[in-house]
Structure 1
């Protein structure tokens, strides 16, 4: 029997589905030509079927993974800690207790995110691929009992989103299928309808539709922190779609979905993607490919023109085939290939122009520069990095804020509730325990490359003056310049010496220099001591003689 809550949520789901009907047609066109594995919009397709029937040129499908690789390597490479935690107060950040706490929390966060069973790398890659193709990605951050944090990418075809008054996604519905066995494991057989129970015994692999609705909890009460529904800011409800009954209900303290969008237009909830921006070029390139293929086939294997007399006879076009009767008495051929005079090369040039536009949209051309010109100076490399940071800053920055930001907030909430975080210092608790994310990945370092370029260019400009007057270099703190360049170029902190180590090395170098000076002066001192000893010996052997006085003798009075 259907219940009122399930009916209300299904009606809301139908409204959300109707509002995005035009989007689904657009997404289907993109999926057919760019991401065919996700071509399940407005249609049910069997598993394993062919979905690339409309792809005649692979430029866009091959550019999409390169786009994802560029986004991931620039914003969240798994080889480094691309984000840190900060209080937003520089003085408080320098407090030793707060600093150690934030570093410890960040270590716990990254350990959980990249745990073996967390699945973050593979699922975040799927999200970025959806972002490049459809402009919107869905990442679910779940807390699995006995496992910990688990990440799951949901296909956009199954998900329906809505924004709050500030433009942030705060409601998401997912319409999906479970087999009878999966439903029983997820919700318990006692909570399922009689139809699924019968299928569980007869055909456990039979699929059924379910609806998962997550949105703001109208019954939220801060004083009921331990209550399964009232104590959660967001409600969660699983509905068996056919019987319109609730099979599971609960809530989340934080919104469990991260929904990054590439770019949004006014009054639109879903994002627009690079593939959407160049969809006309992608479709045009596919049509050009078909045309050039036909033209090339006619050039390589042209039609054969026959005379009227020979038109009824079979003509064999295979290699070394013998065709009798196709030469007249004068030796002229009676079968002639038809030359269309088609310019296949012009078609290829036009296709290459479309390919460049598509590769530009997916940033393939931008990342190809360093590969094509590997022999460049350090300053040129910094200039290239600065240019990348400027071009990639807006779209990548939005992905950081809409993917990594909500993901981190959800992770910290789960870790705190599971008691996995270290004790918070009193200094931070007194300030309200608020922390912020500071992104420090390659994208942010590329945006700082302008500072490195300024340092290098200034030192190069001052170098001629330093040859005239070396004192002009005294205006620079060369150690600070070196540390800044090391930070910009992502030199690991473990490879840099601390201030204490540098001071100790300077003292050691000063002692070594002093010792070398003493060693250099030792032969002179030994020779002087030897000469003095010889002089004393000679003076002792001749007591009536007086050693000469090397000081100037004053002149006698009167000038004599």
Structure 2
């Protein structure tokens, strides 16, 4: 640790941290060229090079774009991923428990559903869904994104770092555990964020200048990484598992020395760096736009060529007699020119090159086939189907039936996003809710039980239909066979089947009663049925006794003849004569 760091009470060696930042930038440099090219074709203004220290503003208009297929398809992909993975208008996740015994507690399901509802409210009140849409666009374009989640008493806050401004590092398992990024801040912004006590004098001077306070920008670096030196058991800002350090770029310190603006920490990793796909030990991901880039480049060139051909067809180059060189020739529509038709050189203006209409038609047909290749590469048809159908009517079954093959292609992407983005997001949000007292009281029966995140979005359910289809087919087969042989139903464990089916479809946790409660209900029902049967049997016996008594009475009162002898008398007399 440097003397400067010790003097300021910092636990990190800022010079070593900055050296690591520069090394990670050098390692990332080959990706910068590719990202810039991808941004030009699919997502302009989303790439910001941190090697550019000027105050030059990025180009706002897409002057080099002729064919906008790539831009529109990337917009469709981002919207489709948003609607299919993290829709703001329907539940896309639920929370369970890893401990199956704890999950069967009577009040576990209701508590988990309440946690999910509160979390959804917090996400809706934040800027999460806006940032998520941009993150999906980065994933589709660059194959990589970086989103930071923080919280205060006002709620959750999300920040998306543009591609080209951040560097990443991974641990031995290949998971991103370090990020650093540069941001350009004015002197006024630096003092507002960090206070006057920690900024160098030249920043204070610039802030006092009314013009420079808002027009002079400085490089500020933020790094978050696992803290190697800390006192375990203490959770103050300098002993948390993840270190958070802000410092001025070495070129902006006024003396070439590092200047730490703030050092603190996080209990859990505050960022999500999902990747569309990863090759080997690469720290940065690969995107579908990389595969569609050659077709998109071809579209730009074909678009320019076809436009030139159409321009020539409607306004071809012409041959004009040299004698008319100094004459004013009017080639505008309805123009009138007085030409001499005598002499060896006739005064006729003729086109030099004529473009045949069938050539333009063939070119447009070829362009359309290349556009379809871009559509397929960016899954535009699949995502348009997701967006154009009525949300109240579309089901995962319909999606699987119509777009099974494309959903299979997206399967690995969905699984990777669940692991690198959505599951960490839900778990960190839960931890922040606990820190800021946003959770309902936890039942004692599930205290300390680890959570499990399950996803019930349209795309997640479509992937899970692989497990429900065998259930549907088996059950339908057994029901058909049972019409001829009912005992075949004995092979089916209906309780297990219902629970597995409900879990695959993402039914609410509170919907399924705990197994213990189900057994109690069935035992109570069986006991009630036994009591009812016993009562019915007792009533039947009593009724039979009443019937016999009534019959005997009737025999003693029923006359058989004029002498008044009754049926009972006759019966007794008959018995006596035997």
Q: How does 1:214-225 map to 2 (within 5 A)?
A: 214-225=224-235
Name stretches of at least 5 consecutive residues in structure 2 with no aligned partner: 6-12, 522-560, 563-578
1:86 pairs, out of 89, 96, 109, with 96
Paired residues of 1:328 and 1:334 also in contact (CA < 8 A): no
Paired residues of 1:295 and 1:344 also in contact (CA < 8 A): yes
Cα separation, 1, equivalents of 2:433 and 2:103: 22
What is the aligned-residue RMSD (CA, Å)? Answer: 3.9
Q: 1:270: how far off?
A: 0.6
Paired residues of 1:385 and 1:446 also in contact (CA < 8 A): no
Cα separation, 2, equivalents of 1:83 and 1:52: 38
**Aligned-partner SS, 2:107:** helix
Q: 1:246: how far off?
A: 0.5
Does 20-29 or 271-280 show the bigger shift? 271-280
* 1:15 and 2:23 aligned: yes
Q: 1:45: how far off?
A: 6.3
Query: Would the alpha carbon gap of residues 384 and 460 (structure 1) be closer, same or farther in structure 2, given more than 3 Å must change?
Result: farther
Does 384-393 or 168-177 show the bigger shift? 384-393
Paired residues of 2:295 and 2:370 also in contact (CA < 8 A): yes
**Aligned-partner SS, 1:95:** coil
* 1:391 and 2:394 aligned: no
1:258 pairs, out of 255, 272, 277, with 272
Paired residues of 2:178 and 2:224 also in contact (CA < 8 A): yes
* 1:337 and 2:344 aligned: no
Residue 536 (structure 1) aligns with = none
Q: 1:72: how far off?
A: 1.2
Residue 415 (structure 1) aligns with = 433
Residue 300 (structure 1) aligns with = 314
Paired residues of 2:99 and 2:450 also in contact (CA < 8 A): no
Q: 1:266: how far off?
A: 1.3
Residue 229 (structure 1) aligns with = 238
Residue 365 (structure 1) aligns with = 381
**Aligned-partner SS, 1:334:** coil
**Aligned-partner SS, 1:114:** helix
Query: Would the alpha carbon gap of residues 301 and 485 (structure 1) be closer, same or farther in structure 2, given more than 3 Å must change?
Result: farther
Paired residues of 1:86 and 1:93 also in contact (CA < 8 A): yes
* Structure 1 outlier segments of 4+, above 3 Å: 1-4, 42-51, 307-314, 326-333, 339-342, 367-382, 385-389, 423-427, 448-466, 468-496
* 1:435 and 2:451 aligned: yes
Paired residues of 1:310 and 1:334 also in contact (CA < 8 A): no
Query: Would the alpha carbon gap of residues 332 and 366 (structure 1) be closer, same or farther in structure 2, given more than 3 Å must change?
Result: farther
Q: How does 1:516-527 map to 2 (within 5 A)?
A: none
Paired residues of 1:385 and 1:447 also in contact (CA < 8 A): no
2:372 pairs, out of 356, 366, 390, with 356
**TM-score w.r.t. length of structure 1:** 0.78
Residue 140 (structure 1) aligns with = 148
Paired residues of 1:2 and 1:245 also in contact (CA < 8 A): no
Question: In the TM superposition, what whole-angstrom CA distance separates every residue of 1:423-454 from its partner, at most 9, and x where no partner exists?
Answer: 3333333xx53112111211121123346655
Paired residues of 1:315 and 1:323 also in contact (CA < 8 A): yes
Q: 1:470: how far off?
A: 11
**Aligned-partner SS, 1:157:** coil
Residue 156 (structure 2) aligns with = 149
* 1:167 and 2:174 aligned: yes
Paired residues of 2:94 and 2:508 also in contact (CA < 8 A): no
* 1:405 and 2:405 aligned: no
Q: How does 1:463-482 map to 2 (within 5 A)?
A: none
Question: In the TM superposition, what whole-angstrom CA distance separates every residue of 1:328-371 from its partner, at most 9, and x where no partner exists?
Answer: 58998721123344511222122112211111121112245689
Question: In the TM superposition, what whole-angstrom CA distance separates every residue of 1:73-120 from its partner, at most 9, and x where no partner exists?
Answer: 1111112221122222434322223323322322222222222xx211
Count of aligned positions: 496
Residue 462 (structure 2) aligns with = 446
**Aligned-partner SS, 2:336:** coil
Q: 1:304: how far off?
A: 1.0
**Aligned-partner SS, 2:197:** helix
**Aligned-partner SS, 1:141:** strand
Query: Would the alpha carbon gap of residues 147 and 474 (structure 1) be closer, same or farther in structure 2, given more than 3 Å must change?
Result: same
Cα separation, 2, equivalents of 1:307 and 1:128: 60
